[in-house]
Structure 1
Amino acid sequence: MPSILHPLRYALALGLAATLSAAPLLSPPGQQLSATEQASPELPSRAEVRALADRGMAWMLAQQQDDGSFFDGPMFRLGITVFATLALLENGLDGDDERMQRAVTWIIGHQQADGGIYDPQEGLANYGTSVSLMILSRLDGVDPSIIERGRNYVLGIQNQDAESPLYGGFAYGANDRGREDLSNTAVSIEGLRAAGIPADHPAMQRALEFVQRTQNLSSTNDQPWAGEDGGAVYSPLPHRAGGSHGEATEAAEVDPTAPVPSVGTMTYALISSYLSLDIPADDPRVRAALDWARANYQFDANPGMAARHASDGLYYYYLLMATTFDRVNTTTLDTPKGEADWRRDLMQTIRERAREADGGVFWINESRRWGEGFPHLTSAYMLRALARIHDSLPETP
Structure 2
Amino acid sequence: MGPVPQAEPGLTALIAAALVRAGVPADNPVVAKAVGFLEKHVQKDGGVYIRGMSNYMTCLAIVTFKEMNAGGKYDKVLEAAGKYVKTLQFGDGLTPDDPNFGGAGYDKPGTRGGPDLSNTHFMVEALLAAGVPKDDPAVKNAVTYISRCQNLESEFNKQEFAKKADDDTRGGFVYNPSAFKDPKSDKRTDAGGLRSEGGMTYAGLKSFLYAGVGKDDKRVQAAVAWIRKNYTVSANPGMKEKDSGLFYYYHTFAKAMDALGEDKFKDAKGAEHDWRQELFDELKGKQKANGSWANTNRAFLETEPALATAFAVLALSYCKKK
Question: With structure 2 as the length reference, what TM-score do the two structures score?
Answer: 0.88
Residues 1:319 and 2:251 aligned together: yes
Match of 2:146 among 189, 211, 235: 211
- Gap change, CA 1:240 and 1:177, over 3 Å in 2: farther
**How many equivalent residue pairs?**
309
| Cα gap change, 1:295 to 1:234, in 2 (>3 Å) | same
From 138, 149, 164, the equivalent of 2:80 is: 149
- Equivalences for 1:335-354 in 2 at 5 Å? 335-336=267-268, 338-354=271-287
- The more displaced of 187-196 and 98-107 is 98-107
Secondary structure at 1:137 match in 2 = helix
Q: Distance in 2 between the 1:241 and 1:131 partners?
A: 30
Structure 2 counterpart of 1:198: 133
Task: Please report how far the alpha carbon of residue 124 of structure 1 lies from its aligned counterpart in structure 2 after TM superposition.
Answer: 2.3
2:289 is the counterpart of 1:356 = yes
Determine which of 223, 232, 235 is the counterpart of 2:159: 223
Considering only CA atoms, is the larger Rg found in Structure 1 or Structure 2?
Answer: 1
- Determine what percentage of the aligned residue pairs are the same residue: 34
| 1:290 match | 224
Q: Does 1:305 align with 2:305?
A: no
Please identify, of 293-302 and 74-83, the stretch whose mean Cα deviation from structure 2 is larger: 74-83
The yes-or-no answer on 1:99 pairing with 2:30 is yes
Deviation of 1:158 after TM superposition, in Å, equals 0.3
- SS in structure 2 opposite 1:86? helix
Confirm or deny that 1:233 pairs with 2:174: yes
Distance 2:180 2:141 in 1: 22
Task: State the shift of 1:76 in Å.
Answer: 5.3
String of CA shifts for 1:24-60, please: whole Å, max 9, x gaps.
xxxxxxxxxxxxxxxxxxxxxxxxxxxxxxxxxxxxx
- Deviation readout 1:336-387 (Å, 9 max, x if unpaired): 5633221222111101100012xxx111000122121111111111111111
Structure 1 residues 196-243: Cα deviation after superposition (integer angstroms, max 9, x where no partner): 00110011111111010000110231212102610000122134899x
Which structure's relative contact order is higher, taking Cα pairs within 8 Å and 6+ residues apart?
1
1:277 equivalent in alignment to 2:206: no
Q: TM-score, normalised by structure 1?
A: 0.72
| Alignment counterpart, residue 181 of structure 1, candidates 104, 116, 121 | 116
Whichever residue aligns with residue 385 of structure 1, its letter is A
Q: CA deviation at 1:246?
A: 5.2
Q: CA RMSD in A?
A: 2.5
In the TM superposition, residue 115 of structure 1 has moved relative to its aligned partner by 2.2
Select 2:297's aligned residue among 360, 364, 367: 367
**1:352 is matched by which residue type in structure 2?**
G
- The CA deviation at 1:176 is 3.5
- Aligned residue type for 1:330: E
**Residue correspondence of structure 1 range 62-211 to structure 2 within 5 A:** 75=6, 77-120=8-51, 123-138=52-67, 139-140=69-70, 142-160=73-91, 161-162=94-95, 163-174=97-108, 175-176=110-111, 178-211=113-146
- Structure 1 runs of 4+ aligned residues shifted over 6 Å read none
Deviation per residue, 1:271-318 (Å, 9 max, x gap): 000011101223221111011011011233211111xx3211011111
Q: Which residue of 2 aligns with 1:21?
A: none
Q: Deviations over 1:239-287 (max 9, x none)?
A: 4899xx95399xxxx99x9321100000000000001110122322111
1:76/1:103 Cα in 2 relative to 1: closer, same or farther (>3 Å)? closer
Distance across 2 between alignment mates of 1:75 and 1:212: 34
- Residue 150 of structure 1: CA displacement? 1.5
Q: Which amino acid aligns with 1:101?
A: A
| 1:53-64 equivalence runs, <5 A | none
Secondary structure at 2:318 match in 1:
helix
Q: Which amino acid aligns with 1:289?
A: A
Q: Counterparts of 1:92 and 1:168 in 2: how far apart (Å)? A: 35
Provide the secondary structure at the position in 1 that maps to 2:272.
strand
Distance in 2, Cα, partners of 1:241 & 1:96: 49
Q: Answer yes or no: is the 8 Å Cα contact 2:66–2:74 preserved in 1.
A: no
- CA shift in 2, pair 1:97/1:296, >3 Å: same
Q: Post-superposition shift, 1:169?
A: 0.3
Cα distance in 1 for residues equivalent to 2:296 and 2:196: 23
